[in-house]
A and B are shown apart, each in its own frame.
Chain A
């Protein structure tokens, strides 16, 4: 309904603007070439007309006075904040020359290609990196690569496919689809779904399911809106989720309430798993986790006895000690209860139509860039030779190993970084100071972003301004439907899309000629796998589900022979079954069965440290109005969450003599940051939670202040080098120790 605007453009939201992982259908209202409003599209099956605060604030984000709208080159020292506006030609020429020089002298692997979180950037950045010839694709500082990749890896190993909670998101008619049924029980495992669309899952689908009868079991150290409405709340000590999973498996197996038919027909290694879980009786798990054993038993029984039920899990699972093992155990919970690819269970999720935007598997990388190239590049990929799982699953650098390599120069020095929409110092990296010191030494750094932030300010030699989601063409196949992003207005200033920038750079740097003249050709080429193209999808309202019978559509594909390359029924694993005893883990030198490992820093494993730092710190608490370290400069959003807030239990706060609203130091052996206390009974006694990614764009961006990142970034208190045995998971994002003291002025 255009009341005063010239036109309404339908599009798909993903990435800069709203910032997030979701694929919301939107209406972009345009007047005189400017976006005046962004609203939800009721005809889009993903969000059904709704939109989150970040999506609704896009106009304020796009036209923010601080947005960088021209290419810049640094003219002072790094961190001095002295920039000179340059042309795109000069920027491209400078980068081309530098990158070619580095490749000639030191090899292409000396340049790392750094992205932030999983958004449309994964497509263009890998495209550029492979064109240039570097294998080093990385989320710098993401300790243990702890954001979805550990869970994806565990699922790949266990069942050869990825699963997500079935909220009817793979069906056109959504909740009205006759073949769909809501999960009877939903386990929300370490996530606040209301805060966003984690891992591409629209959080409020959980509420939609609850309205249709789904009941909740919630595993969370905090009391939340969801725990208030849960039938069972397991309020465990942070970091002990692996023990909960093992305890629940113990109950379900020993009480014989698993799906016997599914297990005998489709699972491998049940007896071995049965033997292993005997080490985790509920009373022992209760001692480890602090959760009463009757609640663990109750949760296990409700989940197992009510089919279909499903698990919705969050990033904390990745960040647990041995995150790939915790994820494996949770995968087993839905597997032995037969909740795989069934309506209302954990449905298999595949990229719509088999189209790749952002490569989620090694196979997709191979399909796009050729087995030979990927194999050759793997030889020098950082961390791939240290960890078989890192080498054989996807194409990422192992970030903890990268940091060591940047510091030591061994086995080869890292010379330059291409950092695209990633705030490493001010958000993503554990131990921010160590990363700052390591990256400051690089010979050459390019940042592609929309705003200055602590990372661009500290490191960039060249700043390339990127566009928001309303100013570009893009496409999305994570998971479904297949969608396109339509350009609604011309770019603000001289900004360009990430795809356009990377295609131009790829043409200049490629060792083999690039076959695409422009981004549209590239998009259409990728969409060929879906038997469609950009214009066709645009004409359909920007989205389409795969046709009936397509292997990317649910349900029960393991029965129909739609999961394996050979077309036989079963799962795409070495045994063709869901591997409760993992052959792939075994091949990678890992324990084939799940187990529990205590966090490295905890009251149990480091009692001496606990005397000095008697509180458990868990970081990464999500805000519904920010996406990671973004959006702090957007008034409509910042008004709703103005300060970095640490949540402290009321009784714990009384012991510390801390009152609600007071500023405090959170401190441990690695550093000290300032947060405002929120004293609340929702916090577990003895546990404090802090959000990540806080910096203050309204303060001085120049060093040493760097937008106050050293004062408020909780990652000044976390560390690297705790990765799991697989190379994935581990970290202390979710469980370390700290103390809290009042700031006396």
Chain B
């Protein structure tokens, strides 16, 4: 079995929080528990203020183990409104990453 993960092309993440609520709904999490969290990063450059968002995968992410069995992708990937998340074997994701500036690969477990 290949090791799966998430490619997070955060250049496009708008901070809409869809991934977080998709995760909560899929796992029926409560009490603030969630498999992903979007953080805002504000940086001040010489000519402008930059606003970026970075989704961070938490210890509660199981890459939607139940859900993906039937061939469906993870709930966060499906619903990401900026379409900036990809699920798959990390070796494939690493290849894709060569063409995706400002991105991360998460391999939760």
Contacts and interface: CB of A to CB of B under 8 A. Distances in A.
Interface of A: 1, 3, 37-40, 42, 49-53, 56-57, 59-60, 194-195, 203-204, 207-208, 211, 223-225, 227-228, 233, 624-625, 635-637, 639-640, 680-682
B16 A211 contact: no
A680 B14 contact: no
B50 to A, nearest CB: 4
Contact of B51 (A42, A195, A224): A224
B16 A640 contact: no
Contacts, number: 105
Identify which of A49, A51, A211, A223 gathers the most chain B CB atoms within 10 Å of its CB: A51
B46 interface: no
Given A52-B81, A56-B22, A225-B15, 10 more contacts: A50-B83, A53-B21, A56-B24, A204-B16, A207-B81, A207-B82, A223-B48, A223-B51, A225-B51, A233-B48
A49 B78 CA distance: 7
Contact of B14 (A39, A207, A211): A207
B42 A53 contact: no
Nearest to B78: A49
B68 to A, nearest CB: 10
A51 B48 contact: no
Interface string B20-47: 1110111000101000000000101000
B72 A1 contact: yes
Mostly, the B contact residues are mixed
Contacts of B24: 56-57, 636
18 contacts: A1-B70, A3-B67, A3-B69, A51-B79, A52-B81, A53-B16, A56-B18, A194-B82, A203-B81, A204-B16, A207-B82, A223-B48, A223-B49, A228-B49, A624-B16, A635-B30, A681-B49, A682-B42
Contacts of A1: 70-72
Nearest to B31: A635
A203 B51 CA distance: 17
Contact of B17 (A224, A624, A680): A624
A53 B30 contact: no
Given A52-B81, A56-B79, A211-B12, A680 B42 contact: yes
B48 A227 contact: yes
A1 B71 CA distance: 9
A204 B81 CA distance: 6
Nearest to B14: A194
A40 B50 CA distance: 31
B16 A56 contact: no
Contacts of A635: 30
Contacts of A637: 21
B92 interface: no
Contact of A228 (B20, B22, B32, B52): B52
State the 5 A-B residue pairs at the shortest beta-carbon distance, nearest first. Answer: A194-B14, A53-B21, A223-B49, A204-B81, A56-B21
Given A207-B14, A228-B52, A681 B44 contact: yes
B106 interface: no
Contacts of A207: 12, 14, 81-83
A52 B51 CA distance: 20
Given A225-B51, A228-B52, A52 B71 contact: no
Contact of A37 (B25, B42, B83): B25
Contacts of B20: 53, 640
B80 interface: yes
B15 A50 contact: no
Contacts of B14: 194, 204, 207, 225
Nearest to A51: B79
A445 to B, nearest CB: 34
Nearest to A194: B14
Contact of A194 (B16, B22, B32): B16
Contacts of B32: 639
A624 B82 CA distance: 13
A305 B76 CA distance: 40
Contacts of B69: 3
Contacts of A39: 75, 78-79
B17 A51 contact: no
Nearest to A49: B78
Nearest to A60: B25
A403 B50 CA distance: 43
Nearest to A650: B44
A56 B12 CA distance: 20
Contacts of A636: 21, 24-25
A160 to B, nearest CB: 34
Contacts of A640: 17, 20-21
Interface string B62-96: 00001101111001001111110000000000000
A625 B22 CA distance: 12
Contact of B26 (A37, A194, A204, A228): A37
A208 B67 CA distance: 27
A696 B20 CA distance: 23
A666 B11 CA distance: 35
Identify which of B21, B53, B70 gathers the most chain A CB atoms within 10 Å of its CB: B21
A598 to B, nearest CB: 27
Nearest to A4: B66
Nearest to B24: A636
A468 B13 CA distance: 30
